[in-house]
Amino acid sequence: LSNQLALGLDVGGTKLAGVLMTAEGEIVAKDARHTHGLEGSRAVLNRLFELADKLLASAIEPVCGIGVATPGIVDLQQGIVRFVSTELPGWSNLPIVELISKEFGMSVLIENDGRAAALAEHRLGVGRGCRNFITIVLGTGVGGGIVANNEILRGEHGGGGRLGHISVDPDGPPCTCGNRGCLELYASGPALANSITTAIQDGKPSTLSKEIYINPAQGLSGRQVVEAAKSGDALAQAVISDAGCKLGLAIVQMMRILDPIMIAVGGSISSAGDLLLDPAREILSRYSPPGYPIIPEIVRAKFGRDASVIGAALLGWEAANGTNLKRGNP
């Protein structure tokens, strides 16, 4: 097995990513495409096949299994996504595992992208050796995964660990999930962009104000807010600090549920580093419940934006080696 490879595929709201990985976690090839999710599930699947084909053709060692990370509530038994938000229309209830395993003649496993990221960080990243561990991914949305007693927590219906929809303000704005004040509404890339745009329109000074007035239709990205904050923009720093406080409030709740030793924060927004994490640490130390001998560490995840696709490749290995999960067999 040592000279074989697994293929990991990550279906993101904006990007499709793929890697070929060794059993030791070494990435030997990687590639990506735009998702263009609004073109429908068939078009997305065709682009995913094309990406996989190209990677498989480049492999110099045999590829033994495929893992797929996707947003939404994933039904591992049936190999489908049972529910996904509007970014991927037609993706729900598509027999993804069956379609991919037929196309490539290999065993396939599917997992929620946040849980795949947690798997990557737990096996190969900052969470190695942590028995109880949480990964939170701040990107276009907010996802995450929980490792309890060294196992990924999936829950009864595949909906376990959807940490972006923990409410941090019951009086906050409504979320697409039906709840109010979800973490995703404060700490995702679009949330950061929205809140700085509103503040600038209210007359607060920022280096990003010219971007808004020059090209109002295009809008800002979360990444631009992070970059501005790192270059010293006070308004961008305040927006990120507020997101960090909300993140901290969500972590206080997670602490009561899991009692983890470490929380890793990944995704594109995590590149804000301590500008984001220090406010979260401060909230956690202020509100952490009594009786816990240590407060869990909040750290930056090792793999950043690549955690989900690396986790997917780990699942490719599981698919090949056989696990207790139902697999799509060729």
Site residues (vs Zn ion, CB under 5 A): 165, 175, 177, 179, 182
Nearer to Zn ion by Cβ, of 188 and 197: the residue is 188
CB of 177 to Zn ion, least distance (A): 3
For the chain, the farthest-separated pair of C-alpha atoms sits apart, in whole angstroms, at 61
CB of 227 to Zn ion, least distance (A): 27
30 — phi, psi (to 5°)?
Answer: -145, 155
Nearer to Zn ion by Cβ, of 125 and 158: the residue is 158
Segments of 176-307 assigned E as strands:
262-266, 297-300
Tokens representing 268 are 């594109």
Nearer to Zn ion by Cβ, of 184 and 211: the residue is 184
CB of 127 to Zn ion, least distance (A): 25
- Parallel/antiparallel/unpaired status of strands 297-300 and 262-266: parallel
Secondary structure of residue 19 in the 3-state scheme: strand
CB of 82 to Zn ion, least distance (A): 17
CB of 176 to Zn ion, least distance (A): 6
Which of 38, 42, 16, 18 has the alpha carbon at shortest distance from 28? 18
CB of 188 to Zn ion, least distance (A): 11
Return the ∠ at Cα 229 (arms to 226 and 233), rounded to 5°: 145
Nearer to Zn ion by Cβ, of 96 and 185: the residue is 185
CB of 175 to Zn ion, least distance (A): 3
110 — phi, psi (to 5°)?
Answer: -120, 145
Nearer to Zn ion by Cβ, of 179 and 241: the residue is 179
Q: How far is CA 153 from the centre of its chain?
A: 15
Nearer to Zn ion by Cβ, of 182 and 243: the residue is 182
Nearer to Zn ion by Cβ, of 59 and 177: the residue is 177
Q: How far apart are CA 114 and CA 145, in angstroms?
A: 5
- Parallel/antiparallel/unpaired status of strands 108-112 and 63-70: parallel
Give start and end residues of each alpha helix (H) in the chain: 41-58, 96-104, 113-124, 184-187, 189-201, 209-214, 222-230, 234-258, 274-287, 307-321
Nearer to Zn ion by Cβ, of 45 and 134: the residue is 134
Helix 234-258 and helix 222-230, axial crossing angle in degrees, nearest 10: 110
Tokens representing 99 are 């379609």
CB of 191 to Zn ion, least distance (A): 12
